[in-house]
Amino acid sequence: MSKHTEGPWSYEVRPNHAGPAPRYVITSETTDRIAVISERGGAASPEANARLIASAPDLLEALELCADWLSTEFETDIEGDNFHSREILDPARAAIAKAKGEDND
């Protein structure tokens, strides 16, 4: 899978020419339109969804830093049978793989 658009991402509220509800457009410094969220299609909270999507590169980077630190900190425990370190790292690694398109789902 190809790499995602470099962060940081942000969102802008833009008029919706198809109706009265605004559109939330996720952008980056290099891309005018990564995604568009609107109230059409039943989105529960288009602005909240836009904020979450716009924060994705920052969240991924923060999770990778945390997982790397935890892996180093608990290196000997992870190789053994320390349930607590695996309980934290396994979901983090799964989320990172999913974000990068490396999951098997």
The pTM assigned to this predicted structure is 0.77
| All residues at 6 or more sequence positions from 54 whose CB lies less than 8 Å from its CB, including other chains | 9, 10, 11, 26
DSSP 80: T
* Residue spans per domain, the chain: 9-54, 58-99
Q: Give me 54's structure tokens.
A: 């716009």
Tens-digit pLDDT string for the chain (105 aa): 568 888 999 999 988 877 778 889 999 999 889 999 887 666 578 889 999 999 999 999 999 999 998 888 766 555 555 556 677 888 999 999 999 988 765
